[in-house]
Structure 1
Amino acid sequence: MRRIPQILIGASASGGGKTTFTTGLLRLLRDRGLTVQPYKCGPDYIDTKYHEMASGRVSVNLDSWLASEEHLKQIYAKYASDADVCVTEGVMGLFDGFEGMRGSSASIAALLGIPVVLMVDARSTAYTVAAILYGFKHFYPAIRIAGAVFNQVASERHFSFLCQACEDVGVECFGYLPRLKELEVPSRHLGLTLDATYRFDEFAGKVAAAIGQSVDVDRLLRSCSSFVASVEERQKAGSMAVPSVGEQSNLETIALASVEEQQKTGSMAVPSVVEQPKAGSMAVLPSVGEQSKSETIASASVKEVPNEEARCPKAGRMRIAVARDAAFNFIYRENLARLEEWGTVTFFSPMADEALPEADFVYLPGGYPEFFLESLANNESLKSGLRAYVEAGGHMLAECGGMMYLCDSIRGMDGKDYPMVGLLHQQATMEDMKLRLGYRTIRAGGQIWKGHEFHYSSVSPGQPPASIAVATDARGNTVDTPLYRYKNLIAGYTHLYWGGSDLMKLWEV
């Protein structure tokens, strides 16, 4: 085991400054010459791109709905193996999960033994933050609140009141970010254009400078120093020597107070273990080479495709083409890692490339096609290549923006219709935009897949292929999220996570 600074940045709610502080801290540590590994709790694609631009390292999602606890431990150890510092950005409020605390940032902190630094929004408040900090400190004893950083601080005098609140409840105060317009995160719905990248780079530098002036970063790093196992230690032990959810750590760097000690000091009578998902309650995705044990769900659509034709080439020998440009870039790092295990990955641009690379499998991820409709519509040669590939029986997965691209057309925010690939006979539209989001369980042919849906677009009634799956949300309610199949093309709005499973089994349903 190595002892390095590990930090999970949490808050009481969304909009509390987590992304701003994470971005600036990553940039500051990178500029100090440290190798800093970023992570993001939850399924968000956009914050991970901020992390990558700020740190120069790919950011990894940690999501206990999408993946098993053991898988999360493995990937955390893998990406931390050569890092000097690990920084994880939380999601929503610290204790907000898909059901109670399940899947929350706090549950990730407990699972991986990561000390928590709270970002506290200090707008229009002062000593009242003492009650907030006291509650966070004592609510869930399985995590350690290492300290706090205040956001939106109006003056040094304002900060002095906040410091007093920290001192009175025994929470370390590391510093603050001032109330400045220039420290507000640029719009999340920008896409990765050169202009947006420049604006974000400038923003990251400004936040890093502000942190350097008003946050005691060295003290923060010392306070958050804890042990992380190597990948080899994880594999050898079968389980990292870091407390699982609800366990007390015996590492002196974590030093969690026992329930009895907290009761003696007048803490809230909150049980030390907040109920977590029971073993087996969340479907474990089949690993490479394993057959699904669930009963087969009949699907007329699947019967049209003989099993031998439907099966993808064997892993290890595949030529894999992945769309990646400004329009398509919502790719989970572990999904890409799995593809790299299965064969040779070649990236291509639906906006700029004339020809589709030679491939046994094509992946069209989500992204921002709505911002690049003219470029996508005008690239007739690439659209023709995709049509020919699918019509010839080629295997393809298209998610969200990738699925939109395969429709007959996309109606843009300008009200114009832009012709697209035309493999799915329906129209995607950005008119009457309404956010649709949430976790999804996809049941197809006896297999269970986990994913996440997040989009503002919709599809108009047309003549798409029949759905081969039934989708439910995190609470088990059926949702109208189809998974289309045409020949060996599978497409839908859901972003699937296959970091711990064999994606190719989806073609065997």
Structure 2
Amino acid sequence: MKENQEGENIRFSIPRIVIAEIQSGCGKTTITRGLMAALKKRGLVVQPYKIGPDFIDPSHHTRICGRVSRNLDVIMAGEEGVLESLYAGSAGADIAVIEGVMGMYDGMDSVFGSTAHIAKLLKAPLLLVIPVHGMATSVHAIASGFKNYDPDSTLAGVILNKVGSRRHADILKTGAKIPQLGFIPKDSRFHTESRHLGLVMGDETTTDEPVDIIEESCDIPAILSLASSAPPLTIRMQHAEHPSYRVKIGVARDPAFCFYYQHNLDMLKKSGAALIYFSPMQDHLPDVDALYLGGGYPELHADMLEKGPARDEIRAACDDGLPIYGECGGLLYLTNGLSGERTYHWTGVLPGTSEMAPRFQALGYSEGQTTGGTSLTPKGIDVRGHEFHYSFVIPDRDASYAIHLTRGKGIMNGYDGMYVHDTVGCYTHGWFSQRFTDTIIRAAHSWKRR
């Protein structure tokens, strides 16, 4: 990798490959994970990425590769932000393996933000997963259709999944015009445990990746050759003025709070924050200048959160004015508690109660602006992020909100960011801008100096 000084163009190279599929559920996730494991087994340093806003697939990537998987999301980060994320993660890696999202051309209201869009932006060869159960040479029409839908697509080959036999594979090869780099047999190991928000997290999985199947069924040398054909990229790192404060920010990180974009954590660290990780399930609140509670599965650990020593300490810290920012699961934990067959009492910081629903309550991107009210939400900061949750919050009538969304549901009717004192809880999983990051740092510094 070759790098110039900040503020100038940076030209860098990393072999890279994107794994896409014709529609969700074709096996892309398991094949991607198996390929990552197979490449690592060969001694390569594999840097994983996930297109889109998902938290769960990256957790599996991180477990397999031993390197933090990063999201590549053009809707939240913009095109330059996607390039910066690729660059930030690729230092020291031999190859980048990028898992797509949904169908190859499925984006937000169009192709924008799709796997095909990101692959073109990154000038990365793309492999398309096609399930071929009950199919013969019709597969070529599908492959050609995806290739020709956009003549400028980077589709470079296909991986055929659910191949029935060697005879079936021979039939599928007849008349192929696009390179076929994998013939994955039907196998019960191509399955991943799931729960209401999707797959289980990477550190909870009870199955190994099907490395042997990938090694036996895919042309790994050809895939490596394709990845190495990706040309260098150029990004421009901008000069900017940032606070030079040194602050400590507590970050809740355990099975209840496990949804964080690495970008956000990097932004905080680059802007002067030392991140202090702790578990509200079992740890005391550390000595910090601000607190960040991410999303996750607090509903699965409700009892431990109720009994955890941090619960009352966080409420006292809120009353004392500590800047606290909670997202989704963090929002729930900041309410009075979780109601259902049994009521669990949580921090009681925000005026409302939480409940779980049998189906998702919000799914999609969110956009809006802060409207004031706290040092974390001065008026006029753009908010971009993503919502996905099965819970809902029943706010008290006198609840106040610090974010107004123009896209997305928020806590209710487009209002998000319920606040009390300097504590803010929202359903939006935000993608931190530099301006918002600086605001958090300044709020923490003001608390530190008081």
Normalised by the size of structure 1, how large is the TM-score? 0.78
Distance (Å, rounded) in 1 between the aligned partners of 2:403 and 2:158: 45
Amino acid at match of 1:442: G
User: 2:53 maps to which residue?
Assistant: 43
Q: Relative to structure 1, is the Cα distance of residues 192 and 78 closer, same or farther in structure 2, using a 3 angstrom cutoff?
A: closer
Q: Are 1:484 and 2:418 an aligned pair?
A: yes
Aligned-partner SS, 1:469: strand
User: 1:469 maps to which residue?
Assistant: 403
RMSD of the TM alignment (CA)?
2.4
User: 2:366 maps to which residue?
Assistant: 440
Amino acid at match of 2:226: S
Which runs of structure 2 are paired with 1:53-92 in the superposition (5 Å)?
53-92=63-102
Shift of 1:146: 1.4
Alpha-carbon deviations, 1:311-349, whole Å to 9, x = none?
A: xxx554111100000110100011010111222111010
Distance (Å, rounded) in 1 between the aligned partners of 2:179 and 2:331: 48
Alpha-carbon deviations, 1:26-46, whole Å to 9, x = none?
A: 111111110011111100000
User: 1:183 maps to which residue?
Assistant: 190
Percent identical across equivalent pairs?
35
User: 2:282 maps to which residue?
Assistant: 352
Amino acid at match of 2:152: A
Which runs of structure 2 are paired with 1:220-259 in the superposition (5 Å)?
220-227=223-230, 229=232, 234-235=235-236
Shift of 1:121: 1.3
Normalised by the size of structure 2, how large is the TM-score? 0.87
Shift of 1:81: 2.6
Which runs of structure 2 are paired with 1:421-460 in the superposition (5 Å)?
421-444=347-370, 445-460=379-394
Distance (Å, rounded) in 1 between the aligned partners of 2:39 and 2:338: 42
Q: Are 1:400 and 2:328 an aligned pair?
A: yes
Q: Relative to structure 1, is the Cα distance of residues 3 and 502 closer, same or farther in structure 2, using a 3 angstrom cutoff?
A: closer
Q: Relative to structure 1, is the Cα distance of residues 480 and 8 closer, same or farther in structure 2, using a 3 angstrom cutoff?
A: same
Aligned-partner SS, 1:422: coil
Which runs of structure 2 are paired with 1:262-281 in the superposition (5 Å)?
none
Shift of 1:462: 2.7
Q: Are 1:215 and 2:218 an aligned pair?
A: yes
Aligned-partner SS, 1:223: helix
Aligned-partner SS, 1:482: strand
Alpha-carbon deviations, 1:273-323, whole Å to 9, x = none?
A: xxxxxxxxxxxxxx9658xxxxxxxxxxxxxxxxxxxxxxx5541111000
Contact 1:77 1:228 survives alignment (8 Å): no
Shift of 1:434: 2.9
User: 1:281 maps to which residue?
Assistant: none
Shift of 1:224: 2.8
Distance (Å, rounded) in 1 between the aligned partners of 2:438 and 2:15: 38
Distance (Å, rounded) in 2 between the aligned partners of 1:149 and 1:174: 6
Alpha-carbon deviations, 1:421-470, whole Å to 9, x = none?
A: 10112111114443421100021222211010000111124346311221
Distance (Å, rounded) in 2 between the aligned partners of 1:136 and 1:107: 13
Aligned-partner SS, 1:356: coil
Distance (Å, rounded) in 2 between the aligned partners of 1:500 and 1:22: 32
Shift of 1:481: 4.5
Distance (Å, rounded) in 1 between the aligned partners of 2:231 and 2:94: 11
Amino acid at match of 1:351: M
Q: Relative to structure 1, is the Cα distance of residues 486 and 508 closer, same or farther in structure 2, using a 3 angstrom cutoff?
A: farther
Residue 273 (structure 2) aligned to one of 328, 332, 343: 343
Aligned-partner SS, 1:182: coil
Aligned-partner SS, 1:26: helix
Structure 2, unmatched stretches of 5+, are: 2-11, 371-378, 444-450
Q: Are 1:333 and 2:340 an aligned pair?
A: no
Amino acid at match of 1:21: I
Aligned length: 420
User: 1:103 maps to which residue?
Assistant: 113
Distance (Å, rounded) in 2 between the aligned partners of 1:130 and 1:464: 61
